[in-house]
Amino acid sequence: MMTLQEVFWVHKPKYITRATVRQLDHQLSPNKMFVVTLLAVIPAIINAHPFDELHQYVDDHVEDYVEALRQWVAVESDSSDVTKRPDLHRMMDMTAEKLKGMGAEVEMVDIGTQELPDGTTLPLPKVVTAQIGNDSNKHTVCIYGHVDVQPAKKEDGWATDPYNLTDIDGNLYGRGASDNKAPVLAWIHAVEAYQALNLDLPVNVKFIIEGMEETGSNGLDSMIVAKRDTFFSDVDYIIISDCGWLSRRPALTYGTRGNCYFFAEVEGPKQDLHSGVYGGTVIEPMTDLIGILDSLISPSGKILVPGIREAVAPFSDEEWKMYQDIEFDVDTYKSKIGIDQLMYNNKVDLLAHRWRHPTVSIHGIEGAFSASGSKTVIPAKVIGKFSIRQVPDMDPAMVKKQVTDYLHSVFTKRKSPNKLTVTMIIGAKPWLADTKHPLYEAGIAAVKRVFQVEPDLIREGGTIPIARTFQDVTKKNIIMLPIGGFDDGLHSQNEKMSRYNYIEGTKLFISYLHEVAEIK
């Protein structure tokens, strides 16, 4: 008859924790009914949930995790505002310290400088890389995330101070809470839980955390190319948790759109003019700009730039069927964003236009009068900012040419004396994964264990600029494993992360590390 310790090793130790066996062994060995009891407990041990201890550890540390998020959200790490660059550097330092605190081998990688529109340069935030574990018998995963945020001001319409994490009804409100500070922390806490319980990490874990994602991941592409044969040489899989679920059902994400972001500058008189004194005599830059912006897209959403729609990969029957099976309620979607009428009324069309068709969005006009009140100015120079989300098989280089040529041709027809300059400042490609890859099977298993449901397989309308670079340069397989809620309000007022998603998401990551270790 085997001892219980021997049973432990024979029956796949990965399914049961060492501590559980030690405890049972201690309790049972003096018992004369040892054999009978042993036979009775074997099925229970083998079927025991392997992560109870880890999950309990997470549940016991919820307030610590919320406090960690509070400290990170308090840093205004807005990568688009150069005046906030010291905060962004501080955020990267805090990230590095947190990883060092758990014994990781941390490096802060200098990725150079950023050139500003006025020709001056500014240091980019360093990229934090870290490594925990170096066992050649284990798989190595690399977790990517970002700790920069979109701009936010209370006066934009936030109900609370965006940089003071505020807990209301189980939701943690703050800029960057969901995008992407809580998910990065959740990964760190998942690894910490294994360490705290003295459990062997199932895989080696690397981190790559950047501070410029929200402005297009400046400088990161070249760092990845430079580190392809060093940092990435032993990486097997890349995991990204910078997206959200589509509904209350957990999801795995297998595609993102890319983004081409344009500045269209129209320059006229040498200074702003009084519209009463000069109006009617000068051809106004703003009128020109509005005219060319209006030529980009029809009221029903048809992109008017020649060649763009023709490049889009056809929507297959298989995709149509997949979309049909996804949990998504059109009315909930409408009510969440506060509108009665959408461009499309049915689920499949809506999802398709959200994920796998390009779209034009007009974001703002620099130099335009935008304050409250009624200034009667003719702005001398205005810069229209718009972007076109990219899908397979669009190519940013081609889109740049198509848009630039088209806007110039529209502008020429206006016979304006003003000067138009079109610049593409971001050209991020879309990313698409193979959902048949074992990384996705592992994701399904981990979701089932933590949430007791099958995840939806979804795409993301937003962009993670570096995803495609990871794929093209490192040739590694990537999975996106979101924990953000469908209603987190990314980039918007009142962004939040629910306690539920943050905490259960941490458990999901714990399970996922285990599932990845099982990939043959």
Detail the residues annotated as belonging to a binding site. Answer: 146, 179, 214, 242, 491
The residue from 78, 192, 210, 213 that is catalytic is 213
Which range of residues in 119-127, 235-243, 266-274, 449-457 is near Zn ion by CB under 5 A? Answer: 235-243
CB 422 within 8 A of CB 408: yes
148 is catalytic: yes
Q: Which of 242, 288 has the CB closer to ligand LNQNZP67?
A: 242
Which range of residues in 230-238, 241-249, 260-268, 291-299 is near Zn ion by CB under 5 A? Answer: 241-249
Structure-block tokens of residue 436:
């048949």
213 is catalytic: yes
CB 456 within 8 A of CB 486: no
Q: Which of 176, 250 has the CB closer to ligand LNQNZP67?
A: 176
How, if at all, do strands 496-498 and 113-115 pair?
unpaired
Q: How many residues bind ligand LNQNZP67 (CB under 6 A)?
A: 13
Structure-block tokens of residue 333:
């979607």
Report in angstroms how near the CB of residue 428 gets to ligand LNQNZP67 at its nearest: 6
Q: Which residues pair with 375 in a beta bridge?
A: none
Report in angstroms how near the CB of residue 88 gets to ligand LNQNZP67 at its nearest: 15
197, with CB counted inside 10 A (0-12, 13-18, 19+), is middle
Structure-block tokens of residue 13:
């130790």
Scored b (16 or more CB within 10 A) or e, 209-223 reads bbbbbbbbbbbbbeb
CA 274 vs CA 278, 369, 374, 375: distances in Å: 6, 13, 12, 9
* Binding-site member from 76, 148, 179, 265 for Zn ion (CB under 5 A): 179
Contact track, ligand LNQNZP67, 166-205, x by CB under 6 A: -------------x--------------------------
Q: Which of 50, 183 has the CB closer to ligand LNQNZP67?
A: 183
Residue for token pair 């001056």: 120
Question: What is the three-class DSSP state of 121?
Answer: strand
The residue from 87, 148, 192, 284 that is catalytic is 148
- In the region spanning residues 400 to 459, those forming contacts with ligand LNQNZP67, defined by CB under 6 A, are 426, 428
Scored b (16 or more CB within 10 A) or e, 432-441 reads bbebebebbe
* Binding-site member from 76, 210, 242, 288 for Zn ion (CB under 5 A): 242
Q: Which of 21, 147 has the CB closer to ligand LNQNZP67?
A: 147
CB 285 within 8 A of CB 383: no
Q: Known catalytic residues?
A: 148, 213
Which residues make up the interface to ligand LNQNZP67 (CB under 6 A)? 179, 214, 216, 242, 259, 261, 426, 428, 462-465, 490
Which residues make up the interface to Zn ion (CB under 5 A)? 179-180, 242
